[in-house]
Structure 1
Amino acid sequence: MEVEYRSYLQSPRIWDTIRDPQKVGYILKEYVHNNGLFLKENPLKQELQILQTTPEGKIFLRIDPESLNEEGEITVYKTLSKHMEIGFRVDSINHEDGVVICSPEYVRIAKDGRILPRIEGLQGKVVAHRFHMLKKEQDSTKVLGTSGQILLTDLHKNILSEYPYSRLVFPSGKELSFEQELSKRTGKTIFVKDAISMDPLSKEESNGFNILDLKQELEEEMILEDRTKVYRSGKIQSFAIYPIYYKDPSGPKLVALGYAETKDRILDPAILKKYAELEDVFNDRIEDSNTLDVDIRQNVINASEGGILLEVTESQLVESFLHKPFFTADITFKMQAPLRFAFKIRHISQIGEIYLVGAEIVGSNDAKTNMTLLKKNLSFIKSV
């Protein structure tokens, strides 16, 4: 019976590809033996059997002929310290006994090694549950409207205590200055420490921020003299504009401009860091309000100290994972206390009605203790 296989997400790998026949032959001889060799993108995780290797380098494989694609090529993989894929050209097929004679064309080896080995056969012994994840549907209209402005204004109070000349400019329905409109259009930060000389900040002063060269922009628009007159008439000595974005999964959306100007002092570039922190806290608050908890149990198929492979049967989880590839969950070994980890999803595939989700451990509420217990539990399972 044919089982449908689909791949939804795969984090990109960086490969070293080898095509030289002698080098390919050497790798196959030294590293590819008759175990742990699997057909790529096969829903049943079909392990292949090498029956014979001829002096000319041709390989006899036992394989289900229906697994071959129309191009007469197959790709197999093996995971040692590094993930390896071998591409074969199919020369002939014996449908009666399921033997394929093929010629190796290339070997590609992932540059990132698997430092931590997988422990297999965990079904029924380890489960993941208490999932904390992002809602599939988020109400961005509230973020971009009054609710978002109220939250930003409240967070901005922390900046006012140190920079009383700072304010928020909400771009919807308001007339912006040329500089504010320029920041809104380009998405870049503007910082002018001297509105007369208009000299740009040094690399050290910029502190990693992508700051637009306003003087150059005004010269190109042929309005440098006009704008410096405006600064003089307003007695503006220094000013900064920082675009604040809501980081919507569908794309960033501008919600406000942080704006500060001084008349009797040089503005401290450190205010840019304050605006960046405000933006981060704002997005964290919005994300917290758009998360949900799903307390269902899903089997862990295999695991290592670096991550897990989940068997996911709950559609709500899959929808969230495809929407944003991060989640937090408890991992519970049989007869043990739960260990809570944060995960980043590396790949998602579907086999029939089941989804396989590979996720990397990226954090924990008690990293040192939980990682020690995870390692201990995996070692115990491996030993029995």
Structure 2
Amino acid sequence: MEVEYRSFLQSPRVWDKITDPAKVGYILKEYVHNNGIFLKENPLKQELQILKNSEDGKIHLRIDPNQVNKENEITVYKTLSKHMEIGFRVERVDDENGIAICIPEYVKIAKEGRITTRIEGLAGKVVAHRFHIQKKEQDSTKILGTSGQILLTDLHRNLLSEYQNSRLIFPNSKDLTPEQDLIKRTGKAIFVSDAFTLEQPPLNTLTNFEVMDLRTELEEEMILEDRIKFFRMGKIKSFVMVPLFYRDAMGAKLLALGYSESKDGALDPEILKKYKELEVVFNARIEDSNTLDLDVRQNVVNASEGGILLEITESQLVESFLHKPFFTADLTFKMQAPLRFAFKIRHISQLGEIYLVGAEIVGSNDAKVNMTLLKKNLSFVKSL
């Protein structure tokens, strides 16, 4: 019975490609021996057997003839310190004996090396559990609407309490000032230390935000004098206006404008850090409210010090991984304490009803200790 295989995600690799026949032949002779060679994108992870290396450079491979594509090509891979792919043109196939006579055409070697080699056969010996994942869907209309505005207003009240003349402006208003409209169009902040000349503080003090040259912008709009007159009439000596964004996988969406003014003197550029903190805290709160903990046990198929391959059978995990390729989970080796890591998903494929998920370790709650224990546990499992 044929098992359906599909690939959903594959992080791109950067390759060195070798096509010179002499160099390809040397690599095959020195590094590609009769073990650890697998057919690319084969759901059953079929290991191939090299039967013979002919003097004319042709390779005799034992292979299921059905695995040769319509273009009479096959690609095999081998992972040493770096991942390697070899492309063959199939000259002919002996259907009766299952032998393909192949001519090597290229070798591709991944530029990024593996931290350590994979240790196979871990199913039943190592499990991943206590997953902290992203929910499948998030209703951005609520975040950008009343619910998000209430949360942002509450955070603003606490984080900018020392700046009395501060408020939030929500950009869905039709009556925006020229400055507010500029921010909405450009996504840049405004910081004016002297509203009568539109002078800015030194650029090296304006961190984390891209700040526009308001004077130049208003000159181009031919409303410079009118706006300076407006600030004078309002007795505004200094002001700052900052775009605040909600950020998700689809990009940044303008949520509000933070506005602060002073009638006594120049505002402290430190206020920009407060607005940056406001944006960061808001996004963190939204992300926290959109995550869940799922304590299911999933087999680890193989692992190295750099990452793991998971056998996923829980549909909720699959939905989350396809939505956002990050998660945290515990790895538990048999008879050992769990180790918690953060992962970034590198590839996802489906084999029948099972999903194979390759994930890179990108962090830990106690990185130094946990990585030492992971290395020790992997060495112990390898020795069994």
Interval of TM-score (by shorter of Structure 1 and Structure 2):
over 0.9
- Kept in 1, the 8 Å contact 2:10–2:346? The answer is yes
Q: Which residue number in structure 2 is paired with residue 184 of structure 1?
A: 184
Question: In structure 1, how many angstroms separate the alpha carbons of the residues matched to 2:266 and 2:72?
Answer: 70
- Counterpart CA distance in 2 for 1:151 and 1:208 is 22
CA distance in 2, matches of 1:223, 1:18: 61
Q: Distance in 1 between matches of 2:220 and 2:17?
A: 48
The verdict on how the C-alpha distance between 1:288 and 1:55 changes in structure 2, with shifts beyond 3 A counting, is same
Residue 95 of structure 1, CA deviation: 1.4
- Alpha-carbon offset, residue 108 of structure 1: 1.5
Could you tell me how far apart the structure 2 residues matched to 1:30 and 1:92 are?
25
TM-score (normalizing by structure 2): 0.93
Number of the residue aligned with 2:361: 361
Separation in structure 1 between the aligned mates of residue 73 and residue 199 of structure 2, nearest angstrom:
61
Q: Is the contact made by 1:159 and 1:166 (CA closer than 8 Å) also made in structure 2?
A: no
Give me the whole-angstrom Cα distance separating, in 1, the residues matched to 2:215 and 2:68. Answer: 63
- 1:254 counterpart SS class: strand
Question: Tell me, which stretches of 5 or more residues in structure 2 are unaligned?
Answer: none
Q: Partners of 1:137 and 1:28 in 2: how far apart? A: 47
Q: Secondary structure in 1 aligned to 2:218?
A: helix
Are 1:279 and 2:308 matched, yes or no?
A: no
Q: Please give the per-residue CA displacement for 1:200-242, whole angstroms capped at 9, x wherever unaligned.
A: 6654233353223333322332223332332333333332222
Task: Tell me if 1:350 matches 2:350.
Answer: yes
Instruction: Give the AA of the match of 1:271.
Output: I
Question: Distance in 1 between the 2:238 and 2:21 partners?
Answer: 66
Inter-CA distance 233–17: structure 2 relative to 1 (3 Å threshold) = farther
Shift of 1:43: 0.4
Q: Matched residues in 2 for 1:87 and 1:201: separation?
A: 59
The aligned runs of 1:1-384 (5 Å cut-off) are 1-173=1-173, 175-199=175-199, 202-384=202-384
CA positional deviation for 1:142? 2.8
Once the two structures are superposed, residues 281-338 of structure 1 have per-residue CA deviations (whole angstroms, 9 ceiling, x without a partner) of 1111111111112221110101122211100011111000000111111211112222
Q: Is the 8 A contact 2:131 2:293 kept in 1?
A: yes
Distance 2:270 2:90 in 1: 63
* Distance in 2 separating the partners of 1:56 and 1:239: 78
How many equivalent pairs are there?
384
Which of 135-144 and 319-328 deviates more? 135-144
User: 2:160·2:274 contact (CA, 8 Å) conserved in 1?
Assistant: no
Partner Cα separation in structure 1 for residue 19 and residue 283 of structure 2: 47
Cα pair 1:312 1:356 within 8 Å, conserved: yes
CA distance in 1, matches of 2:312, 2:357: 7
CA distance in 1 between partners of 2:269 and 2:213 (Å): 15
Q: CA RMSD in A?
A: 2.0
Q: Is the 8 A contact 2:115 2:304 kept in 1?
A: no
- CA offsets, 1:360-384, max 9 Å, x none? 1222223233222222211111111
| CA deviation profile, 1:240-279 (whole Å, cap 9, x unmatched) | 2221122233443222111122233222333222212211
Please say which of residues 112-121 and 182-191 is displaced more in the overlay. Answer: 182-191
Identical-pair percentage: 74
Distance 1:223 1:73, change over 3 A: farther
- Structure 1 residues not aligned, in runs of 5+: none
Q: What is the CA distance between 1:131 and its match in structure 2?
A: 1.2
Cα distance change on mapping 1:243 and 1:91 into 2, 3 Å: same
CA distance in 2, matches of 1:244, 1:66: 57
| Distance in 1 separating the partners of 2:72 and 2:215 | 61
CA drift at 1:25: 2.0
Give 1:9 deviation, angstroms: 0.9
Instruction: Using the TM superposition, give the Cα deviation of residue 174 of structure 1 relative to its aligned residue in structure 2, in angstroms.
Output: 5.6
Give the whole-Å Cα distance in 2 for the aligned partners of 1:121 and 1:331. 15
Separation in 2, partners of 1:151, 1:330: 32
> 358-367 or 156-165: which moved more?
156-165
- State the SS of the aligned residue for 1:253: strand
Structure 2: distance between partners of 1:14 and 1:215? 45
Classify the secondary structure of the residue corresponding to 2:112. Answer: strand
SS of residue in 1 equivalent to 2:90: strand
